[in-house]
Each structure stands twice: as C-alpha cells, then as structure tokens.
Structure 1
Amino acid sequence: MDASDWDRRYAEARQWSVEPNQTAARLISALPAGRALDVAAGEGRMALWLAAQGWRVEALDFSAVGLQRGQQHAAADARVSWRVADVRTADLGERDFDLVLVLYLHLPRADMRDVLARCAAAVRPGGHLLVLGHDRENLSRGVGGPQEDAVLYDTALLGEAVDGWQVAQLEQIERSTDSGTAIDTLLFARRP
C-alpha cells in the first residue's frame, strides 16, 4: 500500500485504539523520558502516550491524514512534532534519539533491512530500539496482519539491526486478539 491508500483508510475511520500498545508501553515505562522517534506512527497513539510520559517525540508517517488524526487528539501542550515522510527515504538522523520505536511497519525484506539499519543508527549511545510486528509464523498458526511472507518479521531479520548491542528481548511473542492469538516478533535492545 502507498500513502494515498493509507490516507483513504484513515479518512474513512479510526484504524486502531487510542490506547498505547501494551507490550511497548510496558517496556518503555521503565525508561527515563528523553527524545523519541516514532517511525510509522500512523494515528499517533504511541507518540501521544510517550508525550504524556514526558518524552519529546517526533512522529513520522507517510500518511498526512493519519498524522492529522493524531494531532486532533494531542493536548495543547503535547511535546510531539508531526512529520509527513516515507520512512524508506526519510532522514532519520544519526544518534539523535534516546528511543526509536517501530511498531507494525511491514515492508519487503530489503527495504525493511535498510529501514531497521537506519533506525538503529538514529539511536544515541545508551538509547533503545524497540521493534514489534507480525511474525512469519502468524501465517500458519496466528491471526491477523499481512498475509504475505515477504513482509513479515522473524528474529533473524530484527537481530541483524542490533549486532553488538545489549539485547534485552529478541523473541516471538503471542498476543491475544478478539479473533484469536496473533504471533509477533519483538526486539528491545540498548545501544552500548
């Protein structure tokens, strides 16, 4: 899908809950607030939650409509900057962020490797990278998510981005949904 497809989806209806992703929120809540990059932020639910926790956040997405939805829900004092850009070509910076968050961004593997490498490069020493998305095994024993193997995660793909880092979690996790159990891949790592 491209930006115009997502703009249409966001214009038709809210796509996800306004609540933060619970797995990400649990892991992040132990970190001191700093500067965060929310990659593929969509409607901004994580960006808004991070801002409420004291983080300064850059929310990046290629859907202007999705980001506008987030801005509509932002408190007047929310510390979020909203940037419309395609993560595949956007400048993510070098060692600029205490936290880079990538939730449910699914791209072809070559694109995803590049994006993950650039996301890792954007993390400051001592900062964290958190990546969470649908695992390849979701096709055979899970529910939801893209149904195309070439855009799904596995631990090998995510682990490539953080070679030499302190990896707190790199694993498959199960997530309960209304439709059944989804299989996700989680990476949470600290840059030395």
Structure 2
Amino acid sequence: MDSSEWDARYSSVEHPWGSAPAAALSARFAELTPGRAIDLGCGDGRHARWLADAGWTVRAVDFSSVAIELARSGGEDRAIDYTVADARTWEPSEPVDLVAIGFLHLPVDELVAVIAGAASWLAPSGRLLYLGHALENFTHGVGGPPDPSILPAIDDLARAASGLQVRELGHLVRPVGEGRAIDVLLHAQPWGTAAHRDLKNGTFT
C-alpha cells in the first residue's frame, strides 16, 4: 500500500466521494452519545466533520498527507485533531468511545487485523463501526475497488469482531444510477464488565 497513489487521487479531485458522510454511518452516529472518537482512514474528513459538528472530540487519521491537508482546509475545528499516520500501525494513547472506519480497504487479512486492533481501543461502553464495499459488490454491484482481494465478506468481518458483542453485521444495498452498490456494515461493542459464568466451577464472577 503506497500513499503516493492516494495523494495523487486527492490532488486530482477535491472530494472523490463527496463531502457528505456515508448515510449508513451518520445514521448510526446519531444514535450515540458524543464522546471521544477516532476516524481511522479519514480521507478528506467527511465523517470527522460530521462527528465534530455533533459534539464529538475526534482524532482523524489517514496516511495520505494530501487528504489530511484537504481535511484541514475544510474549516478550523478544534474538536478535530488530524494526524498523518498508517492505519495499520497507529494507536491512540487512551480508550475512546467510538472507532469509525469508513471505506478503508486493505488486503483482507490486514483489514481484519486493523479492525480487531481498533476494537481493543474501545472504552467498556464504546462502539466500533466499519462500513466498506463488500466482496459481493465485485460480482453483483457497481463501483468500488476492482480488486476482490481488498473487499471483505461478512465472514471476514465476523473474524474481526471475534470477542465482541455484534449489534449489526450485514449487507447494505444502495442505488447507484441504474445499478446498485453492495456495502457491508459491522457495528460492534465490547461485552463490558457484567458478571459471567465460570464454566469450570459453574459459578458467576
């Protein structure tokens, strides 16, 4: 994965995917109580800006320096801290209430590792939201990356969510012109600190 390709894309088109947030994410953001959020793979900041406008304090991370420059030029907002870094290796310094990952596409095993790692950043009541183009979009949809090796299937996101409470995991189909795009959504959270059964002793701890 080379940031220069993405630098060139962001240099050639002001908002490659539009300036509005993905509706599937903003609808779910709106159900949450604002706190500390990470927008991982933030691109030009469309999701980070929505979250900041809604009262969140946001750390927005992307490995394209051009994308981060565009995001910063979208308006001064002290609630957003933009950072140039690789989503595969960057980590926050403290737990957060939300990790949002919108249309970050990596080789699937790398993506699974990134999502699983991001889940470890969550506070006990935190949420993780991933939205991306589904593998099924390659054969049944339109648009999106033309490389199936970077498109997750539902079972890939299930692997990424191992150990989490999964609130939603499924396909979302949206019209695109006369065709359709097929996305995949994961919404998960930690199980928290509720009492659990000790299977060996048959007691709750």
Give the structure-2-normalised TM-score. 0.88
2:42 is aligned to: 41
Q: Is the 1:93–1:121 Cα contact (8 Å) retained in structure 2?
A: no
Equivalent residues in 2 for 1:160-175 (5 A)?
160-175=159-174
**Whose radius of gyration is greater, 1 or 2?**
2
Equivalent residues in 2 for 1:22-33 (5 A)?
22-33=23-34
TM-superposed deviation, 1:109? 1.7
Aligned to 2:158, the other structure's residue is in SS state: helix
Instruction: For 1:113 and 1:63, locate their aligned partners in 2 and report how far apart those are by CA, in whole Å.
Output: 21
Q: C-alpha offsets along residues 45-97 of structure 1, whole Å, 9 cap, x if unaligned? A: 000110000000000000111111111112x3440000000111222456x11
Give the structure-1-normalised TM-score. 0.93
Instruction: For 1:107 and 1:99, locate their aligned partners in 2 and report how far apart those are by CA, in whole Å.
Output: 21
Instruction: For 2:181 and 2:6, locate their aligned partners in 1 and report how far apart those are by CA, in whole Å.
Output: 22
Give the residue type in structure 2 aligned to 1:38: D
Structure 1: which 5+ runs fail to align?
A: none
Q: C-alpha offsets along residues 32-54 of structure 1, whole Å, 9 cap, x if unaligned? A: 00000001000000001100000
Instruction: For 1:25 and 1:170, locate their aligned partners in 2 and report how far apart those are by CA, in whole Å.
Output: 17
Give the residue type in structure 1 aligned to 2:176: T
Instruction: For 2:88 and 2:163, locate their aligned partners in 1 and report how far apart those are by CA, in whole Å.
Output: 24
Q: Does 1:120 align with 2:119?
A: yes
Equivalent residues in 2 for 1:1-192 (5 A)?
1-14=1-14, 15-74=16-75, 76-93=76-93, 96-178=95-177, 180-192=179-191
2:196 is aligned to: none
Instruction: For 2:80 and 2:90, locate their aligned partners in 1 and report how far apart those are by CA, in whole Å.
Output: 18
Q: Is the 1:20–1:46 Cα contact (8 Å) retained in structure 2?
A: yes
Instruction: For 1:120 and 1:93, locate their aligned partners in 2 and report how far apart those are by CA, in whole Å.
Output: 14
Aligned to 2:138, the other structure's residue is in SS state: helix
Change (3 A) 1:56 1:142: same
Give the residue type in structure 2 aligned to 1:87: A
TM-superposed deviation, 1:185? 0.7
Aligned to 2:81, the other structure's residue is in SS state: strand
Structure 2: which 5+ runs fail to align?
A: 192-205
| Worse-matched range after superposition: 12-21 or 99-108 | 12-21
TM-superposed deviation, 1:179? 5.6
Aligned residues: percent identity?
A: 39
Q: Is the 1:92–1:119 Cα contact (8 Å) retained in structure 2?
A: no
TM-superposed deviation, 1:125? 0.9
Q: Is the 1:52–1:78 Cα contact (8 Å) retained in structure 2?
A: no
TM-superposed deviation, 1:110? 2.1
Aligned to 2:124, the other structure's residue is in SS state: strand
Q: Any runs of at least 4 consecutive aligned residues in structure 1 with deviations exceeding 6 A, and if so which?
A: none
